[in-house]
Structure 1
Amino acid sequence: MNKKLSLALRWIFLILVLVVIYMPIALIIVYSFSSEKNIGNSFGTFTFSLYARLFTNKQLMSATINTLIIGLVSALLATVIGTLTSVGLYYMKRGKKAVNFVSQITVVNAEIVTAVGFFLLSIFLRDVLKLPLQRGVGWLIVAHTVMTTPYVILTVSPRLAQLNPNLYEAGLDLGAGPMRTLFTVIVPQLVGGMISGFALAFTLSLDDFVVTNLNKGTNGVNTVSTYVYASLRRNLDPAIRALSTILFVSVLAVLIIVNIVKKSKAKKQG
């Protein structure tokens, strides 16, 4: 009886935790198909009108496109830089711990510090060094790349630790040059970690508000997060519910694909 009660309590606790975590998301998804402008006691009728409204809202679509451009480009750059940095750290003989420690500071650093740092850096480059720098999409790509690269290093490094440390030397002994060995021997072994790192970097960029809001400039560049914040001060556009649903489903699909790829690679290697 005690075992059955213990098992029941565990399941109840697990279900409660899952409900607390996913209830807000479930509400967004359900009410994205509602005809009601505001979420209240009445659901209204089932409709796709918010999705139609989403694609006719020029400001929101522009913010979405900016978000995707910044997220995809910065995630790609972070994946390349993070992977190469991980490989360099793995084969570094001296100072590995110090460099690795420095590279991970931004992971535990408060995001507001990173945001203010990039804001001041843009002023320094523009006003002191007189560089033709404007805060906007380009600057946000740089900021998001720097912000997410350490996370890629964290996902790729464990995969590197599982590799045979003699693979690189073996490639050189077989006549391949350093670059060819890197891209034909080492990098293919890291694809699973790279995909996970890319997905994580893209999600972090997609979700960011603090760095983006301080560094987007005054030329009208908006992302989804800054658009939602501005809408909250007026009246939140109901089309946000449809966009949030699409983003959630897209991220969920990416995570499923990442897990499938990782499992298939694990089976091949096993």
Structure 2
Amino acid sequence: MVSKISKKIYLFLMFAFLYIPIVVLIAFSFNDSKLQGVWSGFTLRWYIDLFKDAEILRALYITILIAILSSVISTIIGTFAAIGIHGIKGFNRNIILNLNYIPVLNPDIVTAISLMALFRFVKVEFGFITMLLSHIVFSIPYVILSVLPKLKQMNVNLAEAAMDLGATPFYALRKVIIPEIFPGIITGMLLAFTLSIDDFVISFFNTGHGISNLSITIYSMTRKGINPIINALSTLMFVVLLVLLLVINKRSDEDLKIGGN
């Protein structure tokens, strides 16, 4: 009995430590005062000012555009890569899987500086393209890891049976394999989209003049002093990412139920 109570207290304290700061942030996004920690009444003016701020809106546009493009491109590349890895047998497959894990485990700062050095070496002008390429690169391994479990669950004889009946390899891929692994593809794309919106380090080192996403813009604003607009923007970002997380978790639960059946 004591053990159960202590576990509940521990969980409560842990989640309180994690989420109380977010609750405070959300609450003060509606605070009428510019001072942090002083409540002066309820207001929505920071949200109104947020959508009147040209710098924020431009950063939001760039963030969403890069997130959409990078998630779609990385999903296409990652899906075909996962199918290729799944078809490899033996020791070579383990080597490739370990190579795919390295970017996931690698600190963001190492990946960021490595990409920056590569772009400088090939003399690519820093800007929108370099940021987009960077987001594609760090998203691909996550897509591969999302698609591979669905490939393992798939009946390996389905594609072979389709080709035995006269289907071309591309037709079997489009009509048999892709529909079977589609939930994993969607999960990988949502994960890549979330990672792109959330990224700061890789974006910061691989952007150019005039190209700034939300994370870089927020960082620049905080160095000048905390503006309540940042609270409103952070609240909206938290809500959007929370919704995406719930969608990903729900899809994962559905995949597990389907796999269990």
TM-score range relative to shorter protein: over 0.9
> What CA distance in whole angstroms lies between the structure 2 residues aligned with 1:22 and 1:171?
51
> What CA distance in whole angstroms lies between the structure 2 residues aligned with 1:251 and 1:101?
29
* Residue 61 of structure 1 pairs with residue 54 of structure 2: no
Match of 1:129 in 2: none
* Residue 144 of structure 1 pairs with residue 135 of structure 2: yes
Counterpart amino acid of residue 153 in structure 1: I
* Residue 248 of structure 1 pairs with residue 226 of structure 2: no
Match of 1:115 in 2: 112
* Residue 226 of structure 1 pairs with residue 225 of structure 2: no
Counterpart amino acid of residue 212 in structure 2: N
CA contact (8 A) 2:187 2:251 kept: no
CA contact (8 A) 1:228 1:236 kept: no
For the residue of structure 2 that corresponds to 1:39, the secondary structure is coil
> What CA distance in whole angstroms lies between the structure 1 residues aligned with 2:28 and 2:51?
17
Match of 1:85 in 2: 81
Match of 1:168 in 2: 159
From 231, 245, 248, give the equivalent of 1:258. Answer: 248
For the residue of structure 1 that corresponds to 2:122, the secondary structure is helix
* Residue 154 of structure 1 pairs with residue 150 of structure 2: no
> What CA distance in whole angstroms lies between the structure 1 residues aligned with 2:225 and 2:132?
29
TM-score of the superposition, structure 1-length normalised? 0.89
> What CA distance in whole angstroms lies between the structure 1 residues aligned with 2:165 and 2:41?
68
Closer, same or farther in 2 for the Cα pair 1:123/1:47, shift >3 Å?
Answer: same
Give the alignment's Cα RMSD to 1 decimal.
Answer: 1.8
CA contact (8 A) 2:147 2:188 kept: yes
Count of aligned pairs between the two proteins: 259
* Residue 30 of structure 1 pairs with residue 27 of structure 2: yes
Counterpart amino acid of residue 60 in structure 1: I
> What CA distance in whole angstroms lies between the structure 2 residues aligned with 1:7 and 1:140?
49
CA contact (8 A) 1:78 1:145 kept: yes
> What CA distance in whole angstroms lies between the structure 2 residues aligned with 1:237 and 1:259?
33
> What CA distance in whole angstroms lies between the structure 1 residues aligned with 2:98 and 2:257?
33
For the residue of structure 2 that corresponds to 1:11, the secondary structure is helix
For the residue of structure 2 that corresponds to 1:77, the secondary structure is helix
> What CA distance in whole angstroms lies between the structure 2 residues aligned with 1:263 and 1:98?
30
Q: CA deviation at 1:261?
A: 4.0
Q: CA deviation at 1:236?
A: 2.6
Match of 1:191 in 2: 182
> What CA distance in whole angstroms lies between the structure 1 residues aligned with 2:258 and 2:100?
32
TM-score of the superposition, structure 2-length normalised? 0.92
Match of 1:180 in 2: 171
Which whole-Å deviations, capped at 9, do the CAs of 1:230-267 have from their partners, x for residues lacking one? 11221232111111111111122222233444555666
> What CA distance in whole angstroms lies between the structure 1 residues aligned with 2:254 and 2:104?
30
CA contact (8 A) 1:35 1:45 kept: yes
CA contact (8 A) 2:78 2:144 kept: yes
Q: Flag as ranges the 4+ runs of structure 1 deviating above 6 A.
A: none
> What CA distance in whole angstroms lies between the structure 1 residues aligned with 2:131 and 2:31?
35
